[in-house]
Structure 1
Amino acid sequence: MSSIPSSPNIQLQQIDPEALKAWIKAQALDLGFADCVIAKPDAQAELARFKEYLKRGYHGDMKFLEENLEKRADPTLLVPGTQSIICVRMNYLVETPKPRYIPDEPNAAIIARYARGRDYHKTMRGRLKTLATRIREKVGDFESRPFADSAPVFEKSLAENAGMGWTGKHTLLIEKKSGSFFVLGELFTSLELPFDGPTTAHCGSCSACIDICPTQAIVEPYMLDARKCIAYLTIEYKGIIAEELRRGIGNRVFGCDDCQLICPWNSFAKKASIEDFNPRYGLDQISLLDIWHWDESTFLANTEGSPLRRTGYQSFMRNIAIGLGNAPFSAQILHSLRQTYATHDEIVQVHIDWAIAEQIAKSMANT
């Protein structure tokens, strides 16, 4: 990586490093980030736990996680010349939920809160690039590269090591004054900035997230089996979902917030300061039947620039079929399932068959 060249701006060597760090953090907050810490480019401590996770097969079909382990542990291999990593987070809640409360709305299509608005990856990268531009205007040229869940980066570990929060038993990062409803981003830089230190953990003996998980995916504290996790099953996994997991999925058609909603620290959850997280196309209050009637063109139109595109149309319909099977008996649901049977692929049809059987069973139980 090239050294920082001469510039008409103030030279980096002439700026007090602590003062520059404070200024960078202020700029990050000004750009809408909820927090900013400076991390050492070293995540070796995470590697042993991650290898155990892979050994147990808890990553399911996410084979990409098996790759580039050295780069994950040593960010300087991913971006040579990296001296410090600016870690940021964005809150994404539009409305602060009631603490320790899981809504029971069996006919609603539940979409994880982070995914109801614009795809945050674009928002995160754009603002990180703006942050880099501001820093460059102040100190002169330097090397930088933004990331937002887009490369082999142990982003949670880096942020945790620099004091942004601690890893909860559900494996998500928790911040004492803000809870866990936030997304992370990083700016790898060639700047030699002072590093922040870690904070302390505060989960104690609480096991609320483990106990509430609908599919018991948190197999032990700090260890998640993605193969059972509703977020993985409804977003990443493209195959036939095991029948024994379908009832636990309920009406969650894209992701799951239950382990966060029950966490006592989310009584302190903060609202988003960025409009991109505002729900679009009524995705915060849409019914299973409404969304079941989307054809592929409607799906594409209503998910433009949305994280929901990640599932693809057929996998999204598969998820909704499960939700309809889990809904209370409805003659309209049964009719809709039968009517649209031939319009979906074989994987979706497996779940439609199951949903029809579930609805019929409930109908007979009611008579």
Structure 2
Amino acid sequence: MNTNQLKQEIIEYSKKIGIDKIGFTTADVFSELKERLKRQQELRFQSGFEKGSNEERTEPKRLLPEAQSIIAIAVAYPSRMKDAPKSTKEERRGFFCRASWGNDYHDVLRERLAKLESFIHAKVNDAVTKIMVDTGELSDRAVAERAGIGFTGKNTLLITKEYGSFVYLGELITNIPFVPDSPVEDSCGECRKCIDACPTGAIVQGGQLNAQRCIAFLTQTKDFLPDEFREKIGNRVYGCDTCQLVCPKNRQVDFHIHSEFEPEDDIAKPKLKPMLTISNREFKETFGHISGSWRGKKPIQRNAILGLGHYKDKTAVPELITIMNNDPRPVIRGTAAWSLGKIGTEEAFEAITKALEKETDVDVRYEMDKGLAFREVQASQK
């Protein structure tokens, strides 16, 4: 088997099936990553969404004993919406991050990799392969970096020369011993715009992220959002793009190559008030095809409630009162009470006071007290 010829054939085929960049690396241990993961655990900087042990995340042969090489792929996604819908005082909107625009990238990239896998198996009878996209044990970024697709920026995202950091990543582990590609040189230089712009200071230093403070992570949690982050989440209902948008490597980067990733106006930037009462079925039918729906509707609803509080949307007061009084979920009731206090109308304060008389959940009562405390803040500002 001529692996150099096969490698070239794979590269050519990848272009035909919608893969924008492809690179090859060895299945050697990711030693530097292993040490970094240990340090992240010691500092409690991990999100908790990570899959597998440090060994499984850094030793490809634990996932595929026959592993000799890893093929990394990157697929570009757009960074701008054409004619994006605007928020109005009557209809405030939230937004999903760009990585959640269009169809779920996990499905799209798995489909691309499955085609690549079939191509390889047709060429090599005894080929052994394993596909991963984001939810696998391996770090997509570390694999792509070593395979020469891009370099890791100070915002911890992979940055490519052609598409900036607006790329989805995936990989295919195989027993075929391909000649590896060379990594590209880090070119962030002295720039620290992403570090300075991060709303919560989650980028501790270049290349180190405290996921527990990252808005992208926080929007996916299901409990009460800690107070210090409630103002900073703004109208984000899922994810955060700040560190990408300020990056000079992303200036003028906006590729609309794949129709699957084109944003749908009312999904990428949904109206907030309808999110409060959407049923499970409606949520699945409307948002089930995007990656931002993977945690279900509860985090999205909580974030929508916070977004209405952020806007101080007085038109949302009746809906917020209704869910504060009737929603069976303490996090939703309590967050609604907090946002009502943030909006700060007399109707809102009276509703919180009345609801407090019958509320039995300790956490919700605490949120109601915090909502009522906004009245004292208002009085002190007059």
Does 1:53 pair with 2:40? Answer: yes
Q: Distance in 2 between matches of 1:153 and 1:242?
A: 30
Paired residue secondary structure (1:37): strand
Equivalent residue for 2:13? 27
TM-score (norm 1): 0.87
Structure 2 residue aligned with 1:108, among 73, 93, 116? 93
Does 1:195 pair with 2:180? Answer: yes
Does 1:330 pair with 2:313? Answer: yes
Q: Give, as a single letter, the amino acid of the residue that structure 2 aligns with 1:30.
A: K
Q: Distance in 1 between matches of 2:198 and 2:87?
A: 14
Q: Distance in 2 between matches of 1:18 and 1:104?
A: 54
Q: Distance in 2 between matches of 1:104 and 1:216?
A: 27
Instruction: Tell me which of the two structures has the higher relative contact order, counting C-alpha pairs closer than 8 angstroms and 6 or more residues apart.
Output: 1
- Residue-pair matches, total: 344
For 1:74-109, what per-residue CA distance to the aligned partner results, in whole angstroms no more than 9, with x for missing partners?
A: 101111101111100111216379xxxxx9999321
Q: Distance in 2 between matches of 1:333 and 1:292?
A: 10
Does 1:160 pair with 2:145? Answer: yes
Structure 1 residue aligned with 2:78, among 72, 93, 97? 93
Q: CA RMSD in A?
A: 2.4
Q: Give, as a single letter, the amino acid of the residue that structure 1 aligns with 2:19.
A: F
**Distance apart, 1:356 and its partner CA:** 0.8
Q: Distance in 1 between matches of 2:53 and 2:335?
A: 35
Q: Which runs of 5+ in 2 are unaligned?
A: 345-373
For 1:191-226, what per-residue CA distance to the aligned partner results, in whole angstroms no more than 9, with x for missing partners?
A: 111100111011111111111111121121111111
Structure 2 residue aligned with 1:320, among 295, 301, 304? 304
Relative distance call for 1:300 and 1:231 in structure 2 (3 A) is: same
TM-score (norm 2): 0.84
Paired residue secondary structure (2:204): strand
Paired residue secondary structure (2:267): coil
8 Å contact from structure 1 (residues 322, 355) kept in 2? yes
Q: Equivalences for 1:1-367 in 2 at 5 Å? A: 13=1, 15=2, 17-42=3-28, 43-62=30-49, 64-65=50-51, 67-93=52-78, 95=80, 107-235=92-220, 237-280=221-264, 282-327=266-311, 329-341=312-324, 342-360=326-344
Could you tell which deviates more after superposition, 274-283 or 182-191? Answer: 274-283
Q: Distance in 1 between matches of 2:151 and 2:100?
A: 23
Relative distance call for 1:257 and 1:353 in structure 2 (3 A) is: same
Q: Give, as a single letter, the amino acid of the residue that structure 2 aligns with 1:230.
A: I
Could you tell which deviates more after superposition, 279-288 or 223-232? Answer: 279-288
8 Å contact from structure 2 (residues 150, 158) kept in 1? yes
